Chains A and B, each alone.
Chain A
Amino acid sequence: MSIKGKAFIAGIYEHPGRHLPDRTLPQIHADVGLGALADAGLSTSDVDAYYSAGDAPGFGVLSMIDYLGLECRYLNDTETGGSSYLLHAQHAATAIAAGHIDVALITLAGKPLTGGAGPGGSGRVGGAPEAPFESQWGMSVPGGYALAAQRHMHEFGTTSEQLAEIKVAASTHAQHNPQALLQDLVTVEEVIESPMISDPLHRLDCCVITDGGGAMVIVSEAVANSLERHSIPILGTGTYVKSSQSGRIDLTHTGAVKSGPLAFTEAGITPSDIDYVSIYDSFTITVLITLEDLGFCERGDGGRFVSDGNLQAPHGALPFNTDGGGLCNNHPANRGGMTKVIEAVRQLRGEANTPVQVGDCELALAHGTGGSLATRSASSTMILGRSL
């Protein structure tokens, strides 16, 4: 059974806040959930399924369903870090296609800047079987991704200047987003001259840290047809977990090598058909490797690809992350998957910020990467259309 054309994104909402000392974590879930429902023209009484990940506090989705006053017959708290929300959307679309539910609400919230319950499912990580062999070495999150970047540079000759081009493109877009945390245009030189965190990743190769959140509402065709707002059909989805490969890890690719083809096949299209991409951008290297993995350029050729202005909206060959992405706009709860879907929906609705709106945007791809490129990660790809 394919989910193609069976489920629709009817509502989206990105929290406008980036620093939220006076909102509790449940309040932020509520802010974004109510925002996405209002965007769709629906209310909490319409919701019959709820999804969140390790960022749902307490008893997870059970606590949040109670807090929000929902009545749900379907729930899921799959935890794969930043890609979780794309998996939730895939699972919701599958449940809708099977006729189990009609309206699914997915929320993300977190306060990494101002405390409260930190997102990340840290309770689960504590007993991990790999922990005795991975947690003694001072691996920061940037440090782990730096290992991937170093190996990519070693094998393919990728340079720091090429990685910096990704940040430059994101900053070009963020200039036009009044809600972006960082709105200043930066140059390749400014990226290279920013403090080195873990070789070869500079501070400006890293995403921002923000409080906040986002939400989306996914509905059946019958519900979509009843709404005034134009809903965005989900055309294809794919998910793949790249393990630590039995201890023979290859750091130069991600699970996108499998999640991408699954999504493209289900949608019945190829990478060259895509008008806009939201690519997970925890770090510049995450974008570069993912573009290769999804087939937008040859393996090892990502450095050249990102250097030719291809990523810049509106006229580049493959405009990406037009909200400024995690690198400049927002990386709420240290998780970028939700905002990737949200900006793809804006592009297909024609509601992106005007200077970065891709003309005649008919097909978009959103991609999430959760976990760590240095160990194990879950990739999830979603292809969306302006219409069926």
Chain B
Amino acid sequence: MRLPARAAQSNSENAPFFEGATAGRLILPKCSICDFVIWFPREICPECSSQEVGWFEASGRGTIYSCTTTRRIPGSWGKVTPFVLAYVELEEGPRVMTNIVECDPESVSIGDSVEAVFEEALNRDGEPGPPLLRFRPTQS
């Protein structure tokens, strides 16, 4: 079942990430001074405090660092249970909170290989917003 998809509110600091998502590309921030791949997207490096941040296209591949199948939850998410909440560790390093989709929620495990998918999302006014970065099991 399709999961709720409320678009995130982007701002001038994280706009390249969401512009990338709109184009179906995973664009991540990277510190221009120490090369650290920054998560969550922002224009400051949490490792060296530099505010010089560049952006690059990541592979979209990763593995599941942790995951839970949620079975009871209030509100709109309660209509789509069971669903999988997860942290995916990207090949480039960051651990990213997300959902695992296009899968059997009973068969998702830590260590599974996954790949990025961008799912359509709507703003509060019902208009399309930046798509959401979710992941599905790697299609081999």
Contacts and interface: CB of A to CB of B under 8 A. Distances in A.
Interface residues of A, number: 38
A247 B85 contact: no
Interface of B is mostly: loop
Contacts of B5: 136
Interface string A144-173: 001111110010000000000000000000
Contact of B14 (A132, A146, A195, A197): A132
B35 interface: no
Contacts of A203: 72
Contacts of B13: 129
Given A133-B41, A134-B40, A139 B67 contact: no
A150 B68 contact: yes
B123 interface: no
Nearest to B89: A248
Interface size class of B (residues with CB under 8 A): 35 or more
Contacts of A140: 70, 73-74, 77
A251 B93 CA distance: 15
Contacts of B98: 137
Contact of B39 (A147, A200, A247): A247
B114 interface: no
A258 B18 CA distance: 36
Contacts of B93: 247-248
Given A246-B36, A247-B93, A248-B93, A137 B99 contact: yes
B72 A150 contact: no
B40 A198 contact: no
A200 B74 CA distance: 18
B118 interface: no
A143 interface: yes
B130 to A, nearest CB: 9
A251 B66 contact: yes
Given A137-B85, A147-B85, A246-B47, A198 B77 contact: no
A138 to B, nearest CB: 4
A230 to B, nearest CB: 45
B83 A248 contact: no
Contact of A139 (B97, B110, B132): B97
Given A133-B96, A247-B95, 17 more contacts: A129-B40, A134-B40, A136-B5, A136-B121, A137-B97, A138-B4, A139-B85, A142-B70, A147-B85, A150-B67, A197-B70, A197-B71, A199-B69, A199-B70, A199-B71, A246-B38, A249-B87
Interface of A: 129-140, 142-143, 146-151, 154, 195-201, 203, 243-244, 246-249, 251, 374-375
